[in-house]
Amino acid sequence: MTDTPLLHVDMDAFYASVALRERPDLVDQPVVVGGSGRGVVLAANYVARRYGIRSALPMTRARRLCPHVVVLAPDYDTFTSVSASVMETFRDVTPVVEAMSLDEAFLDVRGATRRLGSPREIAERLRATIHDEQGITCSVGVAASVSVAKVASRRAKPDGVVVVSPAEVTSFLHPLDVGELYGVGEKTQALLHRFGLLTVGDVAHTPLQTLQRALGDHLGRHLHHLAWGTDRSDLSPTAGPHEPERSMGADETFARDTDDRDVIVRELLRLAARVTGRMRAAGVAGRTITLKVRFADFTTITRSRTMPEATDVTVEVHRAVTHLYDALGLQRVRVRLVGVRVEGLVLRATVHHQLALGEPEHGWADADRAVDRATRRFGAKAVRPASLV
């Protein structure tokens, strides 16, 4: 029996660590993984962090902070395969693994302690295995609840383990800044600071009703739980049957802002094709179609329309977002990004398409299926709508 059954395992600077396996000559240099142009830093090694470089930092600022930083392009195929191997290592320990992303997961090791030892011993064994097999390091937080384990792994970085027993939870959490809590971002942190609530302990000792008045019922209650480490402790294993995604979308920032409707409508077609292609591969369809537009000044709006029936058809999604775009009535407004998202996804098998008499539409679904087959055989570049050629 253990009173700290949850492990949060988080790879250290994952993309950068994986990229550096191919370039051991660069390990002592400041290195970031990221795109070129208008991108942001996806991961920075610990040398680069000494210059103040962090993930999500605009690439231009990273270069300004450290002009000799080495920039490596992301290789998602490799990241995905390393991630899959790491997740397998987790599943050798316990079937209860909730993957949060490519580089982190929660594990419930309750059922493994008899076989493998204490949670701390399991954490150290995992770290050694991942280091030997993948050549990268990770950090582990061990606790009784999801949020405490998450905060603990962050405190363990890099390349360490932090165990927080139930008796230690308040002395561990309460001195921390409120911004350290999992789910408290920049805005909420600033709001809490304005109320004079600087530490987690300050929040913990604020009456629940006061928190709820300031932050709303839900967030107030949530924060109260986070501050006492009484958030959820049950995981939803990622493997095996799980609910389909609730939405799928794609967006793209233009290399340069544009006010050209043709360029924008063509980009919307590419995005609609990408999204519906993924939907068809996953066997889902959705009713609510959302257009996202970000302007040159970074303000962002969304416009959505809910259809009578769920669809996964490229031209239907494209037509919907094009109508939404035209309805904005933009005149010479510079657009930075457009996005397409489909929400309210259901399994396509549950959608019974009402065939209207003489409906011309069913031909488009057939066309999509033909495109999907060709894409599987010849690759994504081989088949695309005529207007994108």
Binding DNA (rule: CB under 7 A), the pick from 95, 117, 160, 344 is 344
Distance CA 135, CA 21 (A): 7
Q: Which of 104, 245, 267, 316 is catalytic?
A: 104
Binding DNA (rule: CB under 7 A), the pick from 26, 219, 265, 365 is 219
CA proximity to 258, closest of 350, 150, 334, 320: 334
CB 274 within 8 A of CB 233: no
Distance CA 19, CA 73 (A): 8
Q: How far is the CB of 174 from DNA (least distance, A)?
A: 18
Residue 283 sits in the site that holds DNA (CB under 7 A): no
User: Residue 103, annotated ligand binder?
Assistant: yes
CA distances to 183, 184, 286, 367 from 279, in Å: 29, 32, 9, 15
Residues touching DNA: how many (CB under 7 A)?
A: 59
Q: How far is the CB of 28 from DNA (least distance, A)?
A: 25
Q: Strand, helix or coil at 165?
A: coil
Site for DNA, residues 37 to 56, rule: CB under 7 A: 37-40, 42, 55-56
Q: How far is the CB of 167 from DNA (least distance, A)?
A: 25
Q: How far is the CB of 249 from DNA (least distance, A)?
A: 4
Tell me whether residue 104 is one of the annotated catalytic residues: yes
The Cβ of residue 41 has, within 10 Å, a number of other Cβ atoms equal to 24
Binding DNA (rule: CB under 7 A), the pick from 121, 302, 369, 376 is 302
Q: Strand, helix or coil at 212?
A: helix
CA proximity to 223, closest of 262, 254, 194, 183: 183
Site for DNA, residues 349 to 378, rule: CB under 7 A: none
CB 360 within 8 A of CB 310: no
User: Residue 177, annotated ligand binder?
Assistant: no
Residues annotated as part of the active site: 104
What residues make contact with DNA under the rule CB under 7 A?
35, 37-40, 42, 55-56, 58-61, 100-104, 150, 181-189, 216-219, 245-253, 256, 274, 278, 287-288, 297-298, 300-306, 336-337, 339, 341, 344
Per the annotation, binding residues are 10, 103
